[in-house]
Structure 1
Amino acid sequence: MSKVKYYYDSETLSYRKIERKKGRKTSIFLLSFLGIVLSGFLLMLVFLNLPNFETPKEKTLARELYNLELQLELLNKKMAQAESVLDEVAERDNNLYRVYFEANPIPEEQRKAGFGGVNRYKDLEGYDNSDLLISSNKRLDILTKQIVVQSQSLDDIAKMAEEKEALLKSIPAIQPVNNEDLTRMASGYGYRTDPFTKARKFHFGMDFTAPRGTPVYASGDGKVIRADNSASGYGNHIRIEHGYGYESLYAHLYKYNVRKGATVKRGDLIGFVGSTGRSEAPHLHYEVFKDGERINPINFYYGNLSPDEFAALLKKSQQENQSLD
């Protein structure tokens, strides 16, 4: 049984029965239903847009992730610059340094080879940016290997340069008597007339005519292996071992300025012109040996003669005249 409700009417000063209007229940039902629908719609909107709503912690992590991606991109740009510079160094290494020192170039596949075998980047798999991380790490590893290869190559070049420098210093490359001290270049390498027998025979050195006491200089770095007068015909003479198969000999000296066993540098004063031994007049008899064989000294005066001086000396040395020893 439904409850009857009353209200107090102030005009009649009596209670009156509340009459329910027709359709009120329907209106209440419709309003309730509409409210439920609207609430559901609002909940659906919230649910659909939930990913767009971030907590402060999520925002912080997102910023950190963006910063890491930016730093990784900058790192890749720096690696690209390093690769460009390294390619230029490799180009000079192969086509300049190694050519100069007569060394084989390093193959491109050796310089830029990757790493075979096990998967070195397995720990980087399974992330949103795994491809970027793996490619960057591969690139960095290859770049690191290239730097190691290039560093070893430059170490080799430095070693070859030291050996080349030692070789260039050791080659007997200067005239042993200064031009201003010369009276003349008396005789060169080749067949000449013997001053004593007047027979034509091969002269294995070069004769530089100069007054007695004229300074004689070492033509290259080396070690004095002889400074005596016990060799037949040479009189007081000095023999220097330069290494790399080269030796030089300075004969008919007046006196020595070095002793056997001494280490000398190119241009050091080693003795003085004389006329000892089998000699007709004061002069320096000079010989150059390579691997035990006498060779023409004229080919080794590039260290202290101008082109014109060398041409004049070459012309005189080719004249078939009488030697002084």
Structure 2
Amino acid sequence: MSKVKYYYDPETLSYRKIERKKRKTFKYILGFITASALFGFLTVFVTSHFVESPKEKALKRELSNMQLHYDMLNKKMNEASEVLASIEDRDNNIYRIYFEANPIPKEQRIAGFGGINRYKGLEGYDNSKLIIESSKKLDVLQKQIVVQSKSLDEIAKLAEDKEKLLAAIPAIQPVNNVDLTRIASGYGYRTDPFTKARKFHYGMDFTAPRGTPVYATGDGVVVRADNHSTGYGNHIRIDHGYGYVSLYAHLYKYNVKKNQKVERGDLIGFVGSTGRSEAPHLHYEIFKDDERINPTNFYYGSLTPEEYNSLLEKASLENQSLD
């Protein structure tokens, strides 16, 4: 039972009973309902926007962890790019120059990927920009590694060829200094021993007793060991590859045969005086691409600087040749 309420009426100097009208009661009820609904809405709004649920907290932690991993991945890719840049610099400015290969253009090393948008599937997410940039950087890095890998394969092949070239080039004296009587004549104009006319002498004459050992000056294959070339008598020709051929003339006898592989320093024959020769000696020539060149440029593998300077001095004298 509801309580009866009164109020004091100063005009009548008496207490009067409070009569509540139905319309006013309806307003009170409507106001209460409206206030309750507003309070509920505010509660839901605040809860949803300012108070995180356990699931939201877990997702936020996962997102933060993912961003941390992407940052670490980017840092590692930057470090890898720096290391790769150092390798590329050495590749272009040391290795490829040493082996006489053209440097790889920077544009070819860092070229991107044209055509369709290969990252479209990564768009539309909160962290799409971070993911796309990381993916682009990784793709470029992978391409740079592929280019550098192929370059190193090429350098390895060039190094192998260079090693073979260095072993093949005629680089030692064909007769040991201890076995030499003297260097009779060098490359250039000399007096012919038979006609006494001045003519060009295309090789070097090493005077030594008959039977003195003659050695291959570089790795190669014997392409001739015969006396079928006018003036040379018994002679040997070795094809060293790379356009180089060495010739050993006026031999007493051979120690090799045609098509035999030889290495630098192998005994191939013995000094003699066969063919157009005035005395026992070895006539030695070097061909490069079918052109005869000065053999004095190829003795760096067996002589000291003093011995080489002495050889140059003796070989430059315009004297009489022995053939």
Q: What is the aligned partner in structure 1 of residue 6 from structure 2?
A: 22
Deviates more, 1:37-46 or 1:201-210: 37-46
For residues 69 and 19 of structure 2, the distance between their equivalents in structure 1, rounded to whole angstroms, comes to 66
For residues 270 and 207 of structure 1, the distance between their equivalents in structure 2, rounded to whole angstroms, comes to 17
Q: What is the aligned partner in structure 2 of residue 108 from structure 1?
A: 106
Shift of 1:148: 1.4
Q: What is the aligned partner in structure 1 of residue 134 from structure 2?
A: 136
Any idea what the Cα deviations from partners look like across 1:222-245, whole Å, max 9, x if unmatched? 110111122222222111111222
For residues 193 and 172 of structure 1, the distance between their equivalents in structure 2, rounded to whole angstroms, comes to 27
Q: What is the aligned partner in structure 2 of residue 304 from structure 1?
A: 302
Unaligned residue ranges in structure 1 (runs of 5+): 6-18
For residues 234 and 120 of structure 1, the distance between their equivalents in structure 2, rounded to whole angstroms, comes to 72
Any idea what the Cα deviations from partners look like across 1:129-150, whole Å, max 9, x if unmatched? 0000111111111111111122
Q: What is the aligned partner in structure 2 of residue 9 from structure 1?
A: none
Q: What is the aligned partner in structure 2 of residue 231 from structure 1?
A: 229
TM-score using structure 1 length: 0.84
Secondary structure in 1 aligned to 2:6?
coil
> C-alpha root-mean-square deviation of aligned residues, in Å?
2.8
Q: What is the aligned partner in structure 1 of residue 117 from structure 2?
A: 119
Unaligned residue ranges in structure 2 (runs of 5+): 8-17
Alignment match of 1:273 (pick from 266, 271, 274): 271
| Count of residue correspondences | 307
Report the AA paired with residue 130 of structure 1.
S
| 4+ runs deviating over 6 angstroms | 23-26, 31-36
Q: What is the aligned partner in structure 1 of residue 260 from structure 2?
A: 262
Secondary structure in 1 aligned to 2:163?
helix
Alignment match of 1:154 (pick from 131, 152, 155): 152
Secondary structure in 2 aligned to 1:156?
helix
For residues 246 and 36 of structure 1, the distance between their equivalents in structure 2, rounded to whole angstroms, comes to 106
TM-score using structure 2 length: 0.85
Report the AA paired with residue 109 of structure 1.
E
Shift of 1:34: 8.8
Any idea what the Cα deviations from partners look like across 1:9-51, whole Å, max 9, x if unmatched? xxxxxxxxxx84537999xx9x998999689657624531334
For residues 120 and 168 of structure 2, the distance between their equivalents in structure 1, rounded to whole angstroms, comes to 57
Q: What is the aligned partner in structure 1 of residue 243 from structure 2?
A: 245
Any idea what the Cα deviations from partners look like across 1:85-135, whole Å, max 9, x if unmatched? 111122222222222333332222221111111110111000000000111
Q: What is the aligned partner in structure 2 of residue 81 from structure 1?
A: 79
For residues 191 and 107 of structure 1, the distance between their equivalents in structure 2, rounded to whole angstroms, comes to 48
Report the AA paired with residue 115 of structure 2.
G
Report the AA paired with residue 120 of structure 2.
K
For residues 36 and 160 of structure 2, the distance between their equivalents in structure 1, rounded to whole angstroms, comes to 89
Deviates more, 1:75-84 or 1:189-198: 189-198
Shift of 1:175: 1.1
Deviates more, 1:252-261 or 1:123-132: 252-261
Q: What is the aligned partner in structure 1 of residue 170 from structure 2?
A: 172
Shift of 1:318: 0.6
Shift of 1:186: 1.3
Secondary structure in 2 aligned to 1:280?
coil
Report the AA paired with residue 152 of structure 1.
K
For residues 200 and 108 of structure 1, the distance between their equivalents in structure 2, rounded to whole angstroms, comes to 57
Identity of aligned residues (%): 68
